[in-house]
Amino acid sequence: MTRRTIVALALVAALGPLLFAGPAGAQWPGVTPTEIKIGNTNPYSGPASAYGTIGKALTAYFKKVNDEGGINGRKINFVTLDDGYSPPKTVEMVRRLVEQDQVAFVFQTLGTPTNSAIHKYLNEQKVPHLFVATGATKWGDPRNFPWTMGWQPTYQTEGHIYAQYVLKNVPNPKIGILYQNDDYGKDYVKGLKDGLGEAGRKLIVLEQSYEVTDPTIDSQIVNLKNSGANVFYNVTIPKFAVQAIKKSHDIGWKPLHLLNNVSASVDVVLKPAGLEASRDLITALYLKDPTDPQWKNDQGMKDWLAFMQKYYPEGNTKDAFNVYAYTVAQGLVHVLKQCGNDLSRENVMRQAANIKNLSLPLLLPGIKVNTGPTDFYPIEQEQLARFDGERWALFGEVHDAGKK
């Protein structure tokens, strides 16, 4: 390298912050008359890279939006970076998005530990942290974190729904719980316990946990069976859900089996575990399952398939994460349209907190998105479904945890 290039590089380094600050006099960070820049992190590598497809599907959806003319004449520039599901990496990437790339806001960053690591930072910087991809309860706390908003029904909401179902429908329930020993698992357990109430709590006969690093959960299943439980509250990620379903079937334990929504995919979990072993599982749903034949002629599902074929052909059309991404991207587009020509960070947040009865094509019939200045939980409705050996058969009414 010659001395001259070094000097030139040094100059660029010194001027960098200025050069990247965007056009002088821009009204709002990340927004020009022709573009909105949105930041995101996703695990494209590492142990959680199964989720990476969400980032890819979001990118594909915004391409579709841009091809159709963008939003109010502005194209979406979606900058998505790989954080490998590692919180320190997420911090690094999000700081880069905010300080260097100057994004308008951060959207759909994925994971509970990763989002926890940037929660405070984004709120201090007053950068909208919208529709995070995790079901932890803490994302809906407008009083302390007015710049952060969740998206999907929280794990606690779901636990609540199961509790009501058990209390209403199971005579003499004895509940055994298997949960992942982290925030996600504990949120689900708390939701169930809250739903059971003070008196109902003694219905829990055994709680067993596992670590993500555990090779098997056989020992826990054996203990649960021996506890005499007749209700099995299964709070596991797909890897362990498959094992739990198969193992309890193998050892002839037939409780009422409540499987958390996290692992409700027919293709990813129930098929590997065995359709017969999965019969009569109960879960709570809010999205249409792309592998469920009952949606074969559904217009929303047809549009989604056409989108997948055109914009994300390498994506898996059986993977529910792609349905998830499509739906949340539609939610964001709704918010941006509602913003009109005021794309200030304050207004983005204001409009996100002002969604009224929004129906999206791949939400289950009857489920609507609703937010308000004190309600930062966009989706709070779910419906129970029972697996009939082939598909999830919805039953009962749509439960609404927002109406408490």
Partner 1 sequence: MEIFLQQVVSGLATGGIYGSVALALVMIYQATDVVNFAQGEMAMFSTYLAWSMLNAGVPYWAAFFATLAVAFVCGVVIERVVIRPVENAPVLTIVIVCIGLLVILNSVAGWIYSYIQKPFPSPFPEKPITIGNIFFGAHDLGALGVTLLVLLLLYVFFRYTTLGLAMRAAAQNPVSSRLCGIRVGWMLALGWGLAALVGAVAGLMIAPIVFLDPTMMSGILIYAFASATLGGFTSPGGAVLGGLLVGVIENLVGTYVKFIGTELKLTVALAMILVVLLVRPSGLFGRVAVHRV
Q: Give the residues lining the site for partner 1 (CB under 8 A).
A: 45, 47, 49-50, 181, 208-216, 218-220, 222-223, 226, 238-239, 242-243, 250-252, 267-268, 271-274, 316, 319
* Eight-class DSSP state of 202: G
Q: Which is nearer to partner 1, 66 or 208 (CB)?
A: 208
Instruction: Closer to partner 1 by CB, 41 or 243: give it.
Output: 243
**134/180 with CB nearer partner 1:** 180
Buried b (16+ CB within 10 A) or exposed e, 178-201: bbbeebbbbbbbebbbebbeeebe
Q: Nearest distance from residue 52's CB to partner 1, in Å?
A: 8
Burial of residue 213, with CB atoms counted within 10 A of its CB: 0-12 exposed, 13-18 middle, 19 or more buried? exposed
Q: How far apart are CA 274 and CA 238, in angstroms?
A: 13
Nearer to partner 1, 217 or 385 (CB): 217
Nearer to partner 1, 105 or 179 (CB): 179
**CB of residue 113 to partner 1, shortest distance in Å:** 17
Identify which of residues 71 and 229 has a Cβ nearer to partner 1 in the complex. 229
Shortest separation between residue 166's beta carbon and partner 1, angstroms:
23
Q: How far is the CB of 271 from partner 1 (least distance, A)?
A: 8
Which spans in 40-129 are helix H? 52-67, 87-95, 112-125
Cβ closest to partner 1, residue 192 vs residue 369: 192
- At 284, list the tokens: 């709570």
What is the smallest separation between the CB atom of 81 and partner 1, expressed in angstroms?
Answer: 17
| CA 283 – CA 95 distance, rounded (Å) | 38
Burial of 352-381, coded b for 16+ CB within 10 Å and e otherwise, reads bbebeebebbbbbeebbbbbeeeebbbbbb
Check: CB of residue 341 under 8 Å from CB of residue 72: yes
User: 135 by DSSP, 3-state: which?
Assistant: coil
Q: How far is the CB of 53 from partner 1 (least distance, A)?
A: 9
Q: Among residues 196, 204, 189, which one has the least CA distance to residue 234?
A: 189
d(CA 366, CA 155) in angstroms, rounded, equals 20
- Shortest distance (Å) from residue 183 CB to partner 1: 14
Measure the CA–CA gap between 151 and 213, rounded to whole angstroms: 28
Point out which residues pair with 209 in neighbouring strands.
179
In the complex, the smallest distance separating the C-beta of residue 270 from partner 1, rounded to whole angstroms, is: 11
Residue 208 or residue 338: which is nearer to partner 1 going by CB? 208
